[in-house]
Each structure stands twice: as structure tokens, then as C-alpha cells.
Amino acid sequence: MNQRPLVADRLRQSVAEREAASLRRQLRTVTAQQGNWIWVDGQRLLNFASNDYLGLAQAPELAAAMQQAIQTWGSGATAAHLLGGHREPHAALERYAAQWLGYPRALLFSTGYMANLAVLDTCLQSHDLCVQDRLNHACLLDGARLAGAHLKRYRHQDLAHAEALLAADPERAAMLVSDAVFSMDGDQVDVRAITAVAERQQALLFLDDAHGFGVLGREGRGTVAAAGLGVESVPLQMLTLGKAMGSFGALVVGTDALIDALVQLARPFLFTTAMPPAVAAASLAAMQTARAEPWRQETLHRRIDVFRTEVAGLGYTLMASQTAIQPILIGEAGKALQCAAALAERGFYAPAIRYPTVPKGEARLRITLSASHTEAELAALIEALRQLNDQSFMNEPSAAG
């Protein structure tokens, strides 16, 4: 009799192991939203888990642009970009982004995940070398694996280690790939240092600036611009539109030759329906609004400064982040879940982040700040954290982790 292992049994076992280690995820539905407040399972919570860093997701300019585009273009693009789906709102967004950021061309994708898969699978071949930071986002790792490249991961932010990995394999074409702002730690890559490594080792540099775009640099032009650099030093960047821009999708900006190669060869671009034109119109409105309203970026950074000063004074362990991502390191997964639950009881939504999203033993509360958070809302969160730090369970071992 066939004794083939059953896939379903294996999956059930994996889920059971997650459950036992306090690592099971729970999909919770937000049933309503009003400003920074969301309703989850009937509970009204102040949201400190949103990536809407500039508070643009509910800005009237985006809604108006989307409504106007729907009247002209309808609700969908109806085809892939190269088969008639590339509409004027898509092209206008690409032109504007390229001009604003000082890059020759931009190419629009439906998600940042797709964009990163496209770049890495297109640029790399099976015999190439791809050197990446150990804490890079999953889609960057997946892109290298999809391409079948030789993936080497260097110690977080250790660019000497990155250069050693590149130097040890000089016969292979190579890419050097990093998050510009790390999504779970909030720290930033040293852009000038990594560009120097890429130049010395003749590796194509690609940075994912999902969490820096809109937040860092003059007009929010991102991590590369904040370092005073551009396309000559960083020939490819990915920028998401669903975070600080409050919309949806992603752009890859780069040289003419590299963007044209993506148009011709990138499977995630070639073989998917283009995003709804109305969404692209909203993203364009977001960029224009962000540039016209610098107070959003300025307010966000004031909120960051206050949070870091006050929470560090409470004795919490903060990570080295000057961005909107402000993780509070807890350690054990079970204890992080307890902290998140205790905050929810006090009316705040800040989920626990656990393995495998972060390394084992580094579970955390990932607080994200927005320009839309008022001084009173931030003060209320800080007071809740003070109360939480006084609770006895914060100093007791958890049952699992």
C-alpha cells in the first residue's frame, strides 16, 4: 500500500508547532475606521500599526483623484500593461515620480513584493551571485531564490562582511541588495558606504526604500536622496506607494537600460493585469500632496523624537531607529503577545511581531508613528506603556517563547 506522506498532514503539524510556540497568527478583520481609530472584533482601538506614515490614506485629495479617474477609466485596467492595460494615469505617475526623484525612468508594479521579484529574477541568472543583508525583507530573498542565484547573506549592516562575500567570488556577475530602511528594526543602511562597496566589487546595487520613501530626505524623496546621491550611485531603487503615500502599488526607478530590461523581461510585469488606473491617479495625487504639504513630514519627525525620548525614559529597550518604525524589544514571543493584549485592553492596537518575521528571542511590539497622530494620542500611548511597564508580568518569564 502506498505510504506517501500527506501534504495536508505535514501542514497541520507545522501549524500545531506554531501554536505550541506562541507563534500562531490570527487574521482579524477591521470592521470600521475613523481617523486613527479602528474597530477590531467590536473593540475600538487607536491604531499604532499602520504604515500610513504621512497620514495620506484618508486625505481628500487622493479620494478626489480616484473618483475622477474612475469616471474616465472605470474600475479596472482590463489588461496587462503591454496588451492595452497601460493607461495614461499609469504613465503620468511614472513620469512624475522619475522627474521628482531625479531618475531617468520609473516602472509601475501592483505591489512591492512583485517589484522586487521582478528586479531580482530579471537581473540575476542561475550562476550569478546575490549578496544580501541578513535582515532583508522576505521578497528580496525570494527574488534571489526564484532566479536560482547563489544567495549569500551578510551580518546585519556589516558591509565589510558583504564586501568579503563579494570579493571571495570574483568570477560571478553580482548584485548587492539591501533594504534602505529595515522594516522590523527601523534602522537605515549607510547608503554612501554600500555604494562604495558595490563600486569596488563591480556589483549592481539595488535598494528597497519601501519605508524611507516619503519619510526621509528633502520633500520625502527617500533614503538615497537624503544621502545626497542619485542614479549614478544607486542605479535601481524600489519605492512602495502603499506606505507613506497612502495608496497602493510600487515603483522601480532606475537607468533607461535597466528599466527597459524590466519592461522586456520581467515576468511579474509581463504576465499580470495592470493596476486600476484610479489607484495610480491616487498615488500621483499623494506625491503632489506630500510635496505641497511639508508639515506632514515635519510633524512625523516631531512625533518620533517625542516617542523615543519618553519611552526610553520608561526603561524600555528601543532599537536604533530614527524612522517611523519604532520597535520595542520584548524578547520572548509569549511575553510580546501579553504586552500587545495588555495594550489592546487599554485601547491601543500594536500587534506583537514574532519569529519567523524576526529572529527567535527578539519578539517585539512594532510601534509605527504617523503625522496623523495627535500629540494627545501619542501621550495616551506613552502613558499606557508606562502603566504596562509597572505590571508584574513584564518582569516574569512567559509560558512560551
Q: What is the pLDDT of residue 390?
A: 73
Which pTM was predicted? 0.93
Q: What is the pLDDT of residue 391?
A: 66
Q: What is the pLDDT of residue 316?
A: 94
Query: Would you state the cell numbers that stand for residue 391, as one nine-digit string?
Result: 505590571
Residue 240 labeled ligand binder: yes
Q: What is the pLDDT of residue 394?
A: 54
CB atoms within 10 A of CB 325: 23
Q: Which of 3.10.105.10, 3.40.640.10, 2.40.50.100, 3.20.20.140 would CATH assign to domain 60-292?
A: 3.40.640.10
389: pLDDT strictly greater than 90: no
How far is it, in rounded angstroms, from Cα 367 to Cα 344? 13
The domain spans of the chain are: 29-51+294-395, 60-292
Residue 309 labeled ligand binder: no
Non-local (6+) Cβ contacts of 350 within 8 A are: 48, 49, 340, 343, 365, 366, 367, 381
Residue 223 labeled ligand binder: no
Residue 372 labeled ligand binder: no
Q: What is the pLDDT of residue 398?
A: 46
Q: 58 falls in which pLDDT band (50, 70, 90)?
A: very high
How do residues 77-118 score in pLDDT, each as one tens digit? 999 999 999 999 999 999 999 999 999 999 999 999 999 999
Q: Which CATH class is domain 29-51+294-395?
A: alpha beta
401: pLDDT strictly greater than 50: no
Residue 161 labeled ligand binder: no
Q: What is the pLDDT of residue 50?
A: 97
Instruction: Strands of 55-154 (E only): list them.
Output: 105-109, 129-133, 150-154
How far is it, in rounded angstroms, from Cα 40 to Cα 66? 27
How far is it, in rounded angstroms, from Cα 130 to Cα 146? 12
Residue 211 labeled ligand binder: yes
In 124-172, which ranges are continuous DSSP H helix? 138-147, 159-167
Q: For all residues of the chain together, what is the average pLDDT?
A: 95
Residue 357 labeled ligand binder: yes
Q: 400 falls in which pLDDT band (50, 70, 90)?
A: very low
